Chain A
Amino acid sequence: MAVKVAFLQNSDCWGCHQSLLNLHLGLLNVLPALEIVYWPAVVDFKYDSLKAREDGEILVGFVEGSLRTKHDIAQTKLLRQKCALIVAFGSCSCYGNVHGLANQWSKDNLIKRKFSEVESIADGSGGEPTINTPGFADKIVPVDEIIKVDAYMSGCPPKPEAIASAIVFLLGQKPFPMNDLAFCNDCSIKDNCLLDKAKLCFGPITSIGCSLKCTSNNKPCVGCFGPAKTVDSRAEKLNNMVNNLDILSSGDKKNLYEFLPLFLNVPLMAGFDLAGDILKQVKKRGTLETHLANLPPTTEEIAGKIMGYLRDHRDFTEISNVCDTCPRIIGSKSTMTRVKRDYEGLPNMEDCFIEQGYLCMGPITKAGCGGMCIKVNSPCTGCYGQTEWGVNQAERFADTVLKGFNVSLSKDELLNQVKDHLGTFEKFTLAANRNFKGGE
């Protein structure tokens, strides 16, 4: 049975929707579950049709974009009224995004530049257009300043996989293959089993049917096909291993974080923030509210032990920033001796950007992207939002890198060498900074 969803576009770029569309063939699995009742970019329902719906009639409303105009504010409030759940979809909605940098100036100054001063205005016209236009908000604020938000999905844009996973999760769909047999039956290296080498491999409890890419590359199965209806005999070995997770290598620990979301088809914790997130439930309440349907007892035991471990272990909260998912070496041969600008030279692909002298927002930015910018040799600029709020981000950055990275500069030297603090440290989040006055 399809459920009703709505996608709202405030002042935005459409990119979150393009990211959803980037699932491409994957859309064919998601779309049949949705009855789209509002999505101006794609379907032909008009604003009046949204107004005409009953309160709470729509299950989930996705709010994309910044609150720049008075109409943005009005339609966001309307959507709240019509939806049972609201997801702040993307960094505009969560934090205001780059548009929040406009909060440095008063509304009048913004309007003057755009509608009166611009060099190409050539016929003496000018001034704020006021006919059939909604008017502008004085400054941009995050969506949760004007309505209650149930879930946040940050990222500019959020990754397609995270969006799909969130939709599937929110809609209560669990399209596991749930094949009868476990991965081990198909495994190409079963005579050379990774479990025998004390590698944490989830093959014994995971469904068959994948392309076996992981084990073919001598990497353990991370459970992405979900649970199998029966378990392989090797499951006992796995069950014993998860009794003592402390001895695992850090790589294996990272596999744990990967395993749970993939295996149980819940959103990745760092990319999607929701009280209903399975890991958050475990962390907050110590129990699991999400129903796990008909898992074999051994599977349930193994999943339970891992969740228990994550709940109690400090690594669970510490895998949180972009550096935690970055392949570059921290503590490399390089040391920052002055702050370099991004156009200078070319960084090498191995060492931490910061240690090579370039500013990278990785240490203070929420994980969830998988380091896509870093892979093309460009530092993180912070689009997933900050890991801590209500503090001076420039100082927090300096404190963090002076503590954990090869930097031979004092805090003052470092910060003085950065000419654009707002554009560097709060490019995506200035609107969410309540201490920022601005508006000159």
Chain B
Amino acid sequence: MGKEIVVDPVTRLEGHNVLKVKLGDDGTVQDVQFSITTTRFFEKFLEGRYCEHIPRITPRICGICPIPHHLTPTKAVEDAWGVQIPPAAYKLRQLLQNAKQYSSHALHFYALAAPDFLLGPMADPALRNVVHVINKMPDVGAMALKMMDFGQKLCQAIGGKSVHPIVAIPGGMKKPLDEDVRDLFLKQIEDQVEWTKKTVDIGLKVVEDYWDVVANVGVVPTYYVGMTKNGIHDIYDGDIRIVSPNGEKFDYPPQKYLDALGEHIPEHSYATHMYYKPAGYPEGIYRANTLAMINCADKMATPLADEALQAMRAKVGNISHHTFAYHWARLIELVESIEVIATLLQDDDVVNPDCKTLDVQPREGNGVGITEAPRGLLLYNIWSDAEGICKKANLLVATNHNIAGIEKTLMHVAKQVFEDKALDGLKLPDPWIK
């Protein structure tokens, strides 16, 4: 009889997943199923809603990244109605999106990922969590909390609420940032930049400590999906970019997404499997999220982040298939987000009250909006009738882009673990927290 290994639920991530690994009598991996066990049918119940209400409903798709789920459908409705927004609104949205990126990446690194590395993968599961990290490394814990706090408070100041924001509306933003509030955030920038650098140092030390793991476990060539603006890393606006396993790049404007992105309905998961359509399924399975974004970008948008990107590429190559390098890529994006925040906070457009186009008119049409959420490409396609009521909606959400890629990676790692016994000879460092 073979054996089935079940991880239920997969913990320390967003969402609801069960992992099953089936082994044959001879110990070979027969199957790996990564099952997402819920979905809520936003694709249906947005029908009949006022299009301008959609951005006030869809943030509930994700409480960690509600900002992109607020801004992206707003962009889709603007595309459907042919609405332009003032430059001040564009910058304010960029600032909001980057504030979210900053807090989410800090949260991901410290609360979701770091416990594995700081305590080591063999640590007691009861202790392998952020609460224990905070208890054992109070200075690092306090720094991490202050970084997340900064990002979340900035989201709240602009968005009205950090979880489930409300400020964006087809045509722009309902209100700019208050000047005195802006000044309060500007005062904190120096500290935040400093803490970001410290975080990068911790991250690089982890990479160095775990180099044997990074270089050898879960190195899986796949396609990648992300967004760039004229080839440059951007998380608010741009085109869809696909990178092939050997580094070829293909760009698609958002409205052409159906040429690039295909969905396969698996039998064992409510989250669908995404793939690059010209390559077919399963060959075209791609991965999303930070490493994908880094693979897509010709360069980063800001100097420190670009320097960090070049350093990473010197070590892992121009296209990295190293799953454990996702954390590294995340830190590069973290650096970019604080640099963008620092620049935009000094831009008077973010306090400019001229941030809403006043004569917005609905029209019949089909609009597409994309942004890059902290967990990957986010796409809304909204069909509006002449009165601006939603006839139909298609949503390709961030984590969903990654599910097939995660399963493919898990299959690779399962074979490494159970067939090649690859973990046995791995060099693991002494845990920082014992």
Which one of B142-150, B199-207, B313-321, B328-336 is at the interface? B142-150
Q: Is the CB of B146 within 8 A of A24?
A: yes
For the complex, is A134 an interface residue (Cβ under 8 Å from B)? yes
Q: Is the CB of B12 within 8 A of A42?
A: yes
Q: How far is the CA of A210 from the CA of B217 in the complex (A)?
A: 52
For the complex, is A191 an interface residue (Cβ under 8 Å from B)? no
Of A40, A121, A376, the residue contacting B265 (CB under 8 A) is A121
The contact sample of 8 A-B pairs, CB cut-off 8 A, is A12-B63, A18-B64, A42-B12, A116-B265, A125-B266, A343-B362, A372-B166, A376-B166
Residues B251-299 near A (CB distance < 8 A) = 257-258, 261-270, 272, 277, 280-281
Return the CB mask of B47-64 against A: 1 if under 8 Å, else 0: 011101100110111111
For the complex, is A238 an interface residue (Cβ under 8 Å from B)? no
Q: Is the CB of B131 within 8 A of A377?
A: no
Q: Which residues of A contact B16 (CB under 8 A)?
A: 9, 11, 40
For the complex, is A59 an interface residue (Cβ under 8 Å from B)? no
Which one of B36-44, B304-312, B422-430 is at the interface? B36-44
Of A11, A110, A114, A376, the residue contacting B174 (CB under 8 A) is A376
Nearest-CB distance from A41 to chain B (Å)? 7
Return the CB mask of B92-128 against A: 1 if under 8 Å, else 0: 0000000000000001000100000000000001101
For the complex, is A127 an interface residue (Cβ under 8 Å from B)? yes
For the complex, is B162 an interface residue (Cβ under 8 Å from A)? yes
Q: Is the CB of A47 within 8 A of B389?
A: no
For the complex, is A237 an interface residue (Cβ under 8 Å from B)? no
For the complex, is A156 an interface residue (Cβ under 8 Å from B)? yes
Nearest-CB distance from A353 to chain B (Å)? 11
Q: Which residues of A contact B258 (CB under 8 A)?
A: 119-120, 122
Return the CB mask of B354-391 against A: 1 if under 8 Å, else 0: 00101010100000000000000000010000011100
Return the CB mask of A44-85 against B: 1 if under 8 Å, else 0: 111110000000000000000010110110000000000000
Q: Which residues of B contact A118 (CB under 8 A)?
A: 43, 263, 394
Nearest-CB distance from A338 to chain B (Å)? 14
Q: Which residues of A contact B129 (CB under 8 A)?
A: 36, 42-44
Q: Which of A28, A115, A132, A343 has the most CB of B within 10 A?
A: A343
Q: Is the CB of B145 within 8 A of A47?
A: no
Q: Which residues of B contact A373 (CB under 8 A)?
A: 160-161, 166
Q: Which residues of B contact A72 (CB under 8 A)?
A: 38
**Size band of the B side of the interface?**
35 or more
Given contacts A42-B129, A44-B128, A342-B169, contact A110 B41 (CB under 8 A): yes
For the complex, is A145 an interface residue (Cβ under 8 Å from B)? no
Of A22, A43, A114, A427, the residue contacting B162 (CB under 8 A) is A22
Q: Which of B16, B169, B261, B272 has the most CB of A within 10 A?
A: B16
**Contacts A27-B145, A105-B45, A156-B164 supplied; 12 other A-B pairs, CB < 8 Å:** A13-B60, A31-B131, A105-B44, A121-B265, A122-B281, A131-B267, A342-B169, A346-B358, A378-B167, A381-B56, A420-B53, A427-B57
Which one of A95-103, A169-177, A266-274 is at the interface? A95-103
Q: Is the CB of B53 within 8 A of A423?
A: yes
Given contacts A9-B16, A156-B60, contact A46 B38 (CB under 8 A): no
